[in-house]
Structure 1
Amino acid sequence: MDYMTKLSVNINKIATLRNSRGGDVPNVVQFAKDVQRFGAEGVTIHPRPDERHIRYQDARDLKPEVYTEYNIEGNPIDSFIDLVLEVKPTQVTLVPDAIDAITSNAGWDTIKNKDFLMDVIKEFQNNGIRTSIFIDPVLKQIEGAKATGTDRIELYTEAFAHQYDLGDKNAAKPYTKAAELANKLDLGINAGHDLSLENIEFFKDNISNLLEVSIGHSLIAESLYLGVENVIQMYLHKLK
């Protein structure tokens, strides 16, 4: 049977907007409370070392207010690991982004980084934090992910979104195959990056047992026209 897919809202863009004026408007914590009230089943943040959007202190401030899934994404450098172990979110998603990357742009090489990932994942799991690793839809990398001991993978969906936008109805095929293998290996499946109201239903229909999607940039952009509460309801409708 297919699982219900949870919608986790990435609120980085709200922090970007706040930081652009140097004050506290919009308030990141209040926004997280609101998206949960509007029906979102999770809140995602991705703090980066330069704190250009979400700050490490935001991660701490959000902890008592996120009663749904709390997902912290990031590159497992020492300061990030320390932050996650302090905050203890529901889930940590490990992303191999370079310090100067504008946004995440590649999944892990799970074979090359196996030992490193195993150590980091074990530490988080020992502290009761579910682990997920950001990954391209490449079968040998899915097998490599299984070998790291991770609980879940997050399929990096930018390539799908780009091809789908061009009208390619085969855009989901590599992801369908990746999901089939992940299901066989008993790996939970999340997905994220450039998913939108335009493509989310098609993607969900092609991925068996998709547990969670984290959506930020598109959802916030769509909300400028349609309103946050309305957009969240539209995503929930498409995911169900």
Structure 2
Amino acid sequence: MFFHQDLGWAQVGFTDAGTDLGRTDAAEAVQARRRAARSVAGGLDAGSDGALDVVSMHQVHGPDAVLVGRGTPTPTADALVTRTHGVALVVRVADCTPVLLASEDGAVAAAVHAGREGLVRGVVPRAVERVVADGPTAPLHAWVGPRACGRCYELPADLADAVDAAVPGTRSTTSWGTPAVDVGAGVVAQLEALGVTVHDVGAGACTIEDDRFWSHRRQGERAGRMGGVVVLAAEGRP
């Protein structure tokens, strides 16, 4: 586990290459996600019936954010939102930026997959919009996990310029002097502009450079998937 925090009102955590959460819904990948979710949930792995539900998504680099609860079939989306205690939300990445959200009152949580396309298409603002859709929430926090950094995420110049035009401040330069983008910086900027308190726990931990993590750019088809998990505390726990 790369990072784990018990907030009382929620649990959040990011895995590393010690776990492969899988690219598909093959049985072994589903079991790996359940083990990771239980590891993060710890003492919070109980809803009203004492069981932990694990919900992941078919990620397509889009802007859609969906509300899920117990027994929700795996949706096609890039952001999951829940208001149900004892439901673990899982996001999977291998260079993209994973984001976990939770409100201080333990009422709502979200997990977001933000790659370059998702960043440009607004998946992060869409997720926050869905979180607050039922009215104002308690202060909202976001944890941003390990991802490809702006020194390594090389792109053609025209594509890097297009990303920066859509999300200003993302244009970067690789350590070898070629055009690049910093998706994580764009994600953080979008969250802060929406008034979310950001905990950038993945800052400085580049998936392309660091073999503690899975990286599609570094490993190609051999890359597994790490990810983030957020679980709301059981009702009644402070």
Relative contact order, higher structure (CA 8 A, sep 6+): 2
Q: What's the TM-score bracket when you normalise by the shorter of the two chains?
A: 0.3 to 0.5
Q: Which one has a larger percent helix, Structure 1 or Structure 2?
A: 1
TM-score for the superposition, normalised by structure 1 = 0.32
